[in-house]
């Protein structure tokens, strides 16, 4: 065991992104000159210590060691103990920005390899009883060397079998499975697989597969695409809350 290092061991290079749970910077390890991503955990509104969302994400990431899942290198502290930073491996691009760049076109072989990599990462999570619950192209990272990683485990959590009731206010709207849109609370890891299907469609079409603006419009778009629910395929659909 050894204590946490200081953030002073790193040199800031530029800000990458800012989300609900923290700000992400590109930085360099002063000693090794390795380029890393550093996430500053937002603690300003926390009266009772470390936020549970950040703790859950850290715990999940540390337990999931896989070639296609972003790795945590260490946790470091700032000039006061309330400033906490998570150091992760750096990736050059979000998959979303690559898809939106009309000048870049993946080959069929590259698309197949990407989907295979996503499914391998998702299978690894599910075998260890972890939902991701927010798979989307902006949470998939890609390096200039062709390395792919799943990131942002802020909504991830461990599940049990048989499945219990969980909050259904998860997954970004465009990647949300129909059972969640219809209000189902006892859902399975299939919700992650639905998101992968939406990502695969986006890779092929170069645009969002179901760009709905509300839950109702999402269901309309999905049913228009795959057909209306049928009793033999989805017997409980009529009993769902929404």
**pLDDT digit string, tens, across residues 41-59:** 876 655 666 677 777 888 8
Give helix 190-205 / helix 108-127 axis angle, nearest 10°: 170
Residue 111's pLDDT band (boundaries 50, 70, 90)? very high
Question: Is residue 21 over pLDDT 70?
Answer: no
Q: Which residues contact 91 (CB under 8 A, 6 or more apart)?
A: 37, 70, 141, 142, 143, 147, 149, 151
Last residue of a domain, one of 89, 122, 154: 89
- Per-residue pLDDT, 48: 62
pLDDT band at 113 (very low <50, low <70, confident <90, very high): very high
> In 3D, which of 44, 45, 32 has the Cα closest to residue 5?
32
Q: Cβ distance 197 to 205 under 8 Å?
A: no
Residues 165-169, mean pLDDT to the nearest whole number: 86
Q: Which of 17, 29, 92, 134 is catalytic?
A: 134
pLDDT of residue 46: 56
Residue 8 bears catalytic tag: no
CATH number of 215's domain: 1.10.510.10
Check which CATH number belongs to the domain holding 55 and give it: 3.30.200.20
Asked which of 89, 105, 128 is the last residue of a domain, the reply is 89
Which of 55, 89, 123 lies at the terminal end of a domain, its last residue?
Answer: 89
Q: Is the pLDDT of residue 1 over 80?
A: no
Rg (CA), the chain: 19
Percent of the chain with pLDDT over 90: 60
Domain that holds residue 79: 7-89
């Amino acid at each position: 065991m050894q204590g946490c290092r200081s953030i002073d061991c790193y040199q800031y290079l530029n800000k990458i992104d800012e989300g609900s749970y923290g700000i992400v910077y590109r930085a360099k390890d002063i000693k090794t000159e390795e380029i890393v991503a550093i996430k500053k955990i937002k603690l300003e509104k926390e009266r009772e210590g470390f936020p549970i969302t950040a703790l859950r994400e850290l715990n999940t990431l540390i337990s999931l060691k896989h070639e296609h899942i972003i790795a945590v290198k260490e946790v470091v502290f700032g000039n006061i103990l309330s400033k906490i930073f998570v150091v992760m491996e750096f990736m050059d691009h979000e998959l979303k920005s690559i898809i939106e760049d009309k000048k870049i076109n993946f080959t069929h072989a590259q698309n197949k390899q990407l989907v295979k990599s996503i499914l391998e990462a998702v299978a690894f999570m599910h075998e260890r009883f972890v939902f991701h619950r927010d798979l989307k192209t902006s949470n998939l990272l890609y390096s200039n060397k062709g390395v792919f990683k799943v990131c942002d485990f802020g909504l991830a959590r461990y599940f049990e079998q048989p499945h219990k009731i969980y909050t259904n206010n998860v997954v970004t709207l465009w990647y949300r499975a129909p059972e969640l849109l219809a209000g189902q609370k006892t859902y399975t890891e299939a919700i992650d697989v639905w998101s992968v299907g939406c990502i695969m469609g986006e890779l092929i079409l170069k645009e969002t597969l179901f760009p709905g603006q509300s839950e109702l419009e999402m269901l309309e778009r999905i049913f228009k695409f795959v057909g209306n629910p049928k009793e033999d395929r989805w017997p409980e659909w009529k009993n769902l809350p929404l």
